[in-house]
Amino acid sequence: MALRSAPLWLLVLLAVTLQESCVGSSLHSLKHFHITTSDPSQGLFHFVSLGYVDGQLFTSYDSNSRRVKPRVSWVEKVGKDDPQYWDTQSQIGHSNEELSRDDLQTLRSRYNQSKGLHTWQRMYGCELQSDGSKGGFHQYGYEGRTFLTFDKETLTWVASDPQAQITQRKWDALPGWNHRKKAYLEEICIEWLEKFLSYGKEMLLRTEPPVVTMISRMEEEDGMEMHVCQVHGFYPREIDVSWTRDGEVWLEDTNHGFLAPNADGTYHYWLSIRIDPKERGRYRCHMEHESLQEPLDLELKEPKSNMGLIIGCVVAALSLMCVIVGTLIFFKRRQDGYNAAPRSNQVI
């Protein structure tokens, strides 16, 4: 695999990772991702840093441009209020790039690796729940596997293997190091999250109710019915959608799609169920969303034709393909940058 393609597929995997917690309780989040790839035998190195607010890419940095740049219009307001902001963040991005380069050299030596492509990832950020509670995380990964995870409650690092334990013992022994990490996650990061929410409130704090459609068909081979509940155009992305039977959540014979973004910044999602037509009246497509004053329950209808489901599946497949292709084109064209958090002034 060529190194030029490595950052691309890593960023696509990153986009998938960001969707893992999309279906659930409402929250706001600020997340930072650093992805470093290197092939020492080829003399190649690439560093990318990305910043997300509520799952929306808002800043970026890479080792080609060496500049942190805005990715959405609302974040440009930060630079207007603080003219030094972009220069300062670019300096932080460059520092993180150099530290990541040193980290990779250390890890290759520690794992006795001299050739081939290697990857080093860092993920950290904070979350603000709808009930006012706060959360934070800080994690490192090497070669796509967890390397170190910060436990801010015990103020310790959790190592995944003996090589990671070397770094764990070093960082846990540094006076005040873990306290500063905890303070950043619970205080500074939350302050920045609230600041970004205020700058981007027209986009980030809006609500768009879901538009729900139901597509149904009869399975000719066994007489069972397939029902697909499609949810479109909602924001924010956190949504609870489930099948219920007699008012209780029903998981049997169900499939779930990926929650994916639309071009206008809203989201879409789908789930299907296979049932006995005699029990159709017992099932509902149930959803809860911030934009709804009360939960919505959609009844199942008797299938009229298979054509609706076929068209719906084609549209869903084309939508997913557009999202994937759009993501690939976006990251392939972009040779710019990212950041917005303090540098980690400690190599591993």
**pLDDT tens per residue across span 152-193:** 999 999 999 999 999 999 999 999 999 999 999 999 999 999
DSSP for 82-115, written as a single string: -TTHHHHHHHHHHHHHHHHHHHHHHHHHHTT--S
Q: Residue 12 has what pLDDT?
A: 41
Instruction: Encode pLDDT of 84-110 as tens digits.
Output: 999 999 999 999 999 999 999 999 999
pLDDT at 41 over 80: no
Q: CA dist 147 to 77, 119, 123, 205, 337, Å?
A: 37, 12, 11, 35, 25
Q: Higher-confidence residue: 236 or 331? A: 236
What pLDDT, on the 0 to 100 scale, is given for residue 312? 53
Residue 278 in tokens = 């005699």
Question: Tens of pLDDT along 241-294?
Answer: 999 999 999 999 899 998 988 888 899 999 999 999 999 999 999 999 999 999
Q: What angle do CA 163, 101, 1 make, to 5 degrees?
A: 85
In tens, the pLDDT along 318-327 reads: 555 554 545 4
pLDDT at 16 over 60: no
Q: Is the pLDDT of residue 196 over 50?
A: yes
Compute the half-sphere exposure of residue 14: CA atoms within 13 Å on the CB side of its CA. 27
pLDDT of residue 152: 95
Please give the pLDDT value at position 131: 81
At residue 130 the predicted structure's pLDDT band, cuts being 50, 70 and 90, is confident
Q: What was the pLDDT predicted at 47?
A: 96
Write the CA distances from 182 to 74, 110, 177, 186, 307, integer angstroms: 29, 28, 9, 6, 55
pLDDT-derived band at 225, boundaries 50, 70, 90: very high
The confidence score (pLDDT) of residue 44 equals 87
pTM: 0.74
pLDDT on residue 220? 73
How confident is the prediction for the chain on average, in pLDDT?
84
Predicted local confidence at residue 304, as pLDDT: 72
> What pLDDT is attached to residue 228?
96
Contacts for 225 with CB less than 8 Å, ≥ 6 apart: 216, 217, 218, 219, 274, 275, 276, 277, 280, 300, 303
Q: What is the pLDDT of residue 324?
A: 52
Provide the pLDDT for residue 281.
95
For the ranges 14-28, 139-153, 191-205, 219-233, the lowest mean pLDDT is seen at 14-28
Average pLDDT over residues 36-62: 91
